[in-house]
Amino acid sequence: MVRNMIVDEITLECGDTLKQVNIAFETSGTLNEEKTNAILVCHALTGDACAVGDENTPGWWEGLIGPGRYIDTNKYFVVTANVLGGCCGTTGPASVHPETGKPYGSDFPVVTIRDMVQLQYKLVKGLGIEKLFAIVGGSMGGMQVYEWAVMYPEMMHLVLPIATSARLSAVAIAYNDVGRQAILSDPEWNKGHYYPGKGPVNGLSIARMLGMITYRTSDLFEYRFGRRLKDEQNVTQFDCTFNIESYLRYQGQKLVSRFDANSYLYLLKAMDLHDIGRGRGGIKAALDKVQAKVLSVAISNDLLYPADHQEEVVEMLRAMGKEVEYHFVESIYGHDGFLVEFVKIGPLVKQFIEKHASLCSHSTAPR
């Protein structure tokens, strides 16, 4: 079940201060008496706090986390929070400004991955947890994992960045901007002040269609769709539709029903700005701060987060004498493999956290 915590204020990297910030979060499992068995899960671009979910609504990572699963909530207390700037409970552009009584819209300040982590830190402290056992996340969630390891190096024993990078690649920034322009060019965006209207649904839908192409692989699309048409009788008509087109349109419409376009824009910008070396003397200098043991997982054919980016970080950490484990997972799914390939990724995660289980107590005494 999603809960809420109010943070009085948070000062962002851009210098602005947000007041009365709500953070929506989900907890699963039991925090032991020593408060040493907590695992923080960080979500990706359009994710939310429901990583585990419940019987009625399965979570987006329920194949990885839950009772008896790879991250076992019978042993661990799992916390997932919706990111700052999101639209699933945590304060974001669609939230009401406490001073004006109106939605922020595009008056919402620019947020970074570091801002998201700062708010999560306040949540963790608010839950009475002095040190996390582990932090895990994929894609944009993995960006948060890296920032946690650099910003608060004493706050966790383990970090597990999956299908991610220490800095966003040029090609990912390029795709992000095409999606962004699709939203900004939609007249219904209205410079970000479209509430309580539906906003730029066409622009957001197109942005999602583009995103879905980058999340998967050409091999998967050939296997699932090939050149098959929805209606073979309609082949010479201008509006004849290939199955792949129908699939992408469906995915676009599906996102529009649950996500805010402004949040999409703000989170894309946060991803673009992601570089753990920014303002810290470079990536190597930033990584020197890391104290946690690291499990890095890259996925084959990941267009957005190439394996060599992860490998570069792994080699830097090893050269510094840090404890790091690296795995390359073959997948036809490409980037989205982190949300699908539980049989391949799950055992790696379980093995890593169980290897270091002595760092936390498995007492299940209630708080």
Residue 18 confidence (pLDDT) above 90: yes
Catalytic residue among 48, 302, 309, 331: 302
Tell whether 336 is in a known binding site. yes
pLDDT for 362 equals: 47
| Catalytic pick among 43, 157, 327, 335 | 335
Q: How far apart are CA 60 and CA 358, in angstroms?
A: 29
More confident residue, 365 or 202: 202
Assess whether 139 carries a catalytic annotation. Answer: yes
Using a pLDDT cut of 70, give the percent of the chain over it.
98
Element at 182 (helix H, strand E): helix 170-184
DSSP β-ladder status, 38-42 and 132-138: parallel
Task: Give dist(CA 146, CA 115) in Å, integer.
Answer: 13
Active-site choice (139, 165, 205, 331): 139
At 267 the three-state DSSP class reads helix
pLDDT of residue 55 exceeding 90, the answer is: no
- C-alpha to C-alpha distance for 68 and 278, rounded to whole angstroms: 40
Query: Which pLDDT belongs to residue 365?
Result: 39
Residue 136 contacts by C-beta under 8 Å, 6 or more apart in sequence? 39, 40, 41, 42, 71, 145, 159, 160, 162, 349
Q: Is 280 one of the annotated binding-site residues?
A: no
- Greater confidence, 361 or 220? 220
pLDDT value at 367 more than 90: no
Cα distance between residue 152 and residue 155, in whole Å: 5
pLDDT digits (tens, 9 = 90+) for 328-345: 999 999 999 999 999 999
Q: What is the pLDDT of residue 1?
A: 77
239 given a catalytic annotation: no
Rounded to an integer, the average pLDDT of 283-307 is: 97
| 163: three-class secondary structure by DSSP | coil
pLDDT above 70: residue 232: yes
The DSSP H or E segment spanning 38 is strand 38-42
pLDDT attached to residue 363: 43
Q: What integer best gives the mean pLDDT of the chain?
A: 95
pLDDT band at 361 (very low <50, low <70, confident <90, very high): low
Q: Does residue 237 carry a pLDDT above 90? A: no
The reply to whether 331 belongs to the active site is no
User: pLDDT value at position 238?
Assistant: 79
pLDDT band for position 208 (50/70/90)? very high
* 30 vs 230, residue with greater confidence: 30
Domains identified in the chain and CATH numbers: 2-169+274-359 (3.40.50.1820), 172-270 (1.10.1740.110)
- The answer to whether 294 and 161 have CB atoms below 8 angstroms apart is yes
Closest CA to 23 of 63, 110, 81: 81
Q: What is the mean pLDDT of residues 286-298?
A: 98
Over residues 120-132, the mean pLDDT reads: 97
Q: Is the pLDDT of residue 253 over 90?
A: yes
